[in-house]
Chains A and B, each alone.
Chain A
Amino acid sequence: MANIISDETIEYVGILAKLELSQEEKEQAKKDMGSMLDYIDKLNELDTEGVEPMSHVFPVHNVFREDIVKNGDDRENILKNAPEEKKGAFMVPKTFD
């Protein structure tokens, strides 16, 4: 494997991805990511000098509209999906002591 993923990198990616991995999952992730990156490195064979990165196939632009509310107040139904709610708001665990 050309790409060796370090423990630090997996830790860092875990933070970015907001995932908590077990030791076993970390080892597997190192292997999987390494082999995927080896494969992705194939792109380096291509000369892309001067090629504009294409995020969309069609020329799409920002779509603006007037800031008018069109959908009704659906608070009650939306909150039914919340794992925890209180007084019409989403409840989250304690953020700081």
Chain B
Amino acid sequence: MSLTAVELGKKIKAGEISVKEAAKAALDSISKAEQDNNCYVTVVEEAAIMQRAEQVQKQIDDGILTGPLAGVPVAIKDNMCTEGLLTTCSSKILENFVPTYTAEAVVKLEKAGAVVIGKTNMDEFAMGSTTETSAYGETKNPWNTAHVPGGSSGGSCAAVAAEECHYALGSDTGGSIRQPSSFCGVVGIKPTYGTVSRYGLIAYGSSLDQIGPVAKDVTDCATILETISGFDEKDSTSVKREEYDFTSALVDEVKGMKIGIPKSYFGEGLDSEVKSAVLAAAKALEEKGAIVEEFELNLVDYAIPAYYVIASAEASSNLARFDGVKYGYRTNSQVGLHEMYKRTRSEGFGPEVKRRIMLGSFVLSSGYYDAYYLKALRTKALIKKEFDKAFENYDVILSPAAPTTAPKLGESLSDPLKMYLGDIYTISVNLAGLPGMTLPWGKDSNGLPIGVQLISNCFEEKKMIRTGFALEQTREYERCPQAAARD
């Protein structure tokens, strides 16, 4: 299980490991580690996995499947629809929802020979930064199970770190791939908005949501991204890009590249060990010939308030569909139609989801729409402009992924505002539609992983991937001790 997805794919292709063996190993790992970590909401039945593995094996043997991910087991965040397989969004309101179709990103993986092994836990409807708002219990950080894995894609990132799958898909609305990747010591990419189809992704903040890969290294992430991206007419915000090649950027060469470090990201609230890690990464790039400079990125403090207005507004509209009529939970109370809607939603949604739906309903209501919603959209335009200016001078921005390493379980939810502030370095990337990635860069004195973030301009993932790859070459991947102990 310590192999990367691409390494395993090579061994499968060479006939050294069968698809069934790979799937069985993942299932064994899950049966050993799940009671500690709780990464999954649903694990696919063994018989179904084996049947799928056999089918993929045959296609590999027949030369139909030749891609790098053929036969490799994958875990999917539970907000992506999977036909015939329970999809809950970690919410009670979807406790029994079995989609009749599969999300486009997952279809693309399956076409490339992926074996879906299970659906990973998350914050309810992706609202949260710790995976503690899940209706199915919190996921624990496999590096230290007294700590959170981050969120909202906490299940996906913890599953990769704990080696309960070889790679996973997550989704990122305000940092939901990058922050948990950082807390779990794995690599995660949030691509440029519109690069991966959102068809079949249960929407939270539609103008911000993007699906992306979580894996052990940059090579895996670039390979997975290349597989899942592409124009899709079923997603009206899908962008027709000139190219979808990301793996050609896996080059250990950053000479002359201009790397900017935003001074304003190093202010109050940043943990000193995280700060040193980012500066060490900057030094490593400099030693490889990159030009590293500090610069002023303004408006950092306005990203979080703007985000919560926009994301909550979109959530209040997107989550209106959960009303107990067509699918999911319905209240048991014998009441009329209108009461049924209200009780179903009140019983089905958790506190954080209700909080955001209410805030969203308020900022969109007449009399407040201009003052809050339009104001936030104007702020977003200004933030985008700040990044445009930055990318006139720099190829890539280097920053922390989160102000601290993973907090302890139970410390975050009592003060939502404080939890929201943890997304300060990731959120503006979503507002500006930019691609961002995090990769592990050492550990703090408690042994918890630290992540650094790389951001590039829209459609310029390759610069960020190349920088990440070069950084990664300077250090070994550090396995999570819990996973290593199971060998």
A interface, CB within 8 angstroms of B: 9, 12-14, 16-21, 25, 29, 32-33, 35-36, 39-46, 48, 51-58, 60, 62-63, 65, 71, 74, 77-78, 80-84, 90, 92-96
Contact = CB atoms under 8 A, between A and B. Distances in A.
A80 B98 contact: yes
Contacts of A52: 378, 381
5 contacts: A20-B339, A48-B375, A54-B381, A82-B325, A93-B340
A17 B237 contact: no
B415 to A, nearest CB: 10
A35 B326 contact: no
Nearest to A76: B100
A37 to B, nearest CB: 8
A18 B340 contact: no
Interface stretch (B116-124, B157-165, B298-306, B476-484): B298-306
B361 A58 contact: no
B297 interface: no
In terms of DSSP, what is the predominant structure of the interface of chain A? Answer: loop
B301 A65 contact: no
Interface residues of B, number: 68
B378 A29 contact: no
Interface stretch (B25-33, B60-68, B352-360, B436-444): B352-360
B301 A42 contact: yes
A36 B352 CA distance: 13
B326 A81 contact: yes
Interface in B159-210: 193-194, 207
B417 A40 contact: no
A81 to B, nearest CB: 4
B324 A83 contact: yes
A43 B316 contact: no
Given A54-B384, A90-B325, A48 B362 contact: no
Contacts of B340: 92-93
B236 interface: yes
Contacts of A95: 336-337
A43 B309 CA distance: 10
Nearest to A45: B302
B305 A56 contact: no
Contact of A57 (B98, B361, B363, B433): B433
Contacts of B326: 78, 81-82, 90
A82 B457 CA distance: 44
B330 interface: yes
Given A42-B301, A46-B299, A51-B378, 5 more contacts: A9-B362, A16-B316, A18-B342, A20-B342, A82-B327
Nearest to A57: B433
Contacts of A35: 417
Given A19-B346, A82-B325, A93 B359 contact: no
A80 B98 CA distance: 8
B365 A12 contact: yes
Given A18-B341, A93-B336, A33 B358 contact: yes
A61 B246 CA distance: 27
A58 B433 contact: yes
Top 10 A-B pairs ranked by shortest CB distance?
Answer: A57-B433, A53-B377, A83-B330, A81-B327, A48-B378, A54-B381, A16-B361, A17-B361, A20-B342, A51-B378
A33 B346 CA distance: 17
A44 B399 CA distance: 27
Contacts of A80: 98
B382 interface: yes
A56 B207 contact: yes
B413 to A, nearest CB: 12
Contacts of A42: 301-302, 305
Contacts of A51: 378, 381-382
A61 to B, nearest CB: 9
Nearest to A22: B346
Contacts of B377: 53-55
